[in-house]
Amino acid sequence: MNVTDVEVLDSNDPLAKYRDEFHLPENTIYLDGNSLGALPKRVKQRVKEVTEQQWGNDLISSWNQHNWVNLPQQVGEKIAPIIGASEGQVICCDSISVNLFKLLSAALSFNGTNSRNKVISSHDNFPTDLYIAQGLQGLLGEQRCQFVDVQEDNLLRSIDDSTAVVMVTEVNFRSGKRLDIKSLTERAHQHGALIIVDLAHSAGAMPVHLDNWNVDMAVGCTYKYLNGGPGAPAFVYVNNALQNKLQQPITGWFGHQNPFAFNPQYQPKSGIKQFLAGTPSIISMSAIDAALELFDDLDLQTVRKKSVTLTTLFDDLINQYGLNDQLQRLSPASAEERGSQLSYSFAYAYELCQALIDRGVIADYRAPHFIRFGFAPLYNSYKDVWSAVEQIRNVMQTDAYKESRYAERLAVT
């Protein structure tokens, strides 16, 4: 594989035209879209319009005039096809943490008994998911919520008749390993358990089939592959079959049947809208709304195909240059078994990450000794991959990462 081969890949890329939709800083190869997606150009315009025209000029009337009041639903419906959900099952609101709390509480209240009180997750799930289950256990007590985390490989066999809820993330944040959600859902249902899936590292990077897999509930993030901006509100999916059986406990006024009647008694909205709580952050949510326009008419199979080719190219180049002696791949060898990222174990992962940043290659470090590269098929080119590996090779071969300045920086991302 040489640079010419890579250029051919780019010239045949059906998604190449999307790159121009993004604002990408000069002299930077951004391989961290799995942490924070890049800025779509159309979002700049929308944020300006919402701030200056809608808020500035039209003020309170914008709740109707610009349909702010339905923004959570409108954004939800744009996310729905991306995650394989038919209409009326997805809504945009709050953070993943808050949404998991809502879903997990609702699932336990509906499905839990004294003998079915376990919440099963994997020890290596993204920590906020684990923390939320621990927080709920603290509030409800072990009799109602007994949180159990197991090794990822033991998840399937850990589900039994004492399981109330299985709570998993499809793509592991650290290793990039994909779980088989369909099998986990089948197993959960065989044992009378419900399943909640976190799609933080899936949505927008690959096809997801929530309806077909018969998943009960899901949450996800809009600031990674959906490019909604830093800390953009998250989303909630609840299967139609369950919606009116569940009652989530954070019963804020936006989930009320008729919030503007100001009735002192809570009555949930029917359907997915009862999962709303407080007033939505309109500026942040409008940014996502605009970013999602890029997914109109986008075939997620094409996105996935490019993602697989990107990760395969990267890993092949690492091997081709013999860098795999030092950078040990944590991610699965088969591209089919991983998400749109590659992680490597390396004693100096933190320092390497810093040295690469200095050379314009943005990846991220994950404690204790992993470096993680994310590939965003909408704006990363094959040439990006080539150039990034060239820089890694240079840093590794010159031991540049050992310079003391790299060890001294504080890690926060």
Query: Annotated binding site for pyridoxal 5'-phosphate: which residue ranges?
Result: 96-97, 126-129, 169, 198, 201, 223, 253, 279
Catalytic residue among 173, 223, 370, 382: 223
Quick one: 145 or 300, whose CB is closer to a copy of itself? 145
Quick one: 64 or 113, whose CB is closer to a copy of itself? 64
Whether cis (ω within 30° of 0) applies to the bond prior to 368 is yes
Q: Output b/e per residue, 345-384; b: 16+ Cβ within 10 A.
A: ebebbbbbbbbbbebebbbbbbeebbbbbbbbbbbbbbeb
Catalytic residue among 22, 30, 101, 126: 126
* Distance of closest approach, residue 75 Cβ to a copy of itself, in angstroms: 13
Active site residue 372: yes
Catalytic residue among 13, 198, 315, 364: 198
CB neighbour list of residue 109: distance below 8 Å, 6 or more residues apart: 246, 247, 249
Helix (H) or strand (E) holding 374: strand 370-374
* Distance of closest approach, residue 6 Cβ to a copy of itself, in angstroms: 23
Catalytic residue among 372, 375, 384, 401: 372
Helix (H) or strand (E) holding 71: helix 71-79
* Distance of closest approach, residue 86 Cβ to a copy of itself, in angstroms: 27
Output the six-digit token pair for 191: 């044992």
For the beta carbon of residue 393, count every other beta carbon within 10 angstroms.
16
Coil, helix or strand at residue 206: strand
Quick one: 10 or 124, whose CB is closer to a copy of itself? 124
Active site residue 315: no
Place of tokens 């009337």: 61
Active site residue 224: yes
Quick one: 134 or 326, whose CB is closer to a copy of itself? 134
* Distance of closest approach, residue 391 Cβ to a copy of itself, in angstroms: 17
At residue 107's C-alpha, the angle toward residues 188 and 76, to 5°, is 100
User: So which residues are the catalytic ones?
Assistant: 126, 198, 223-224, 372
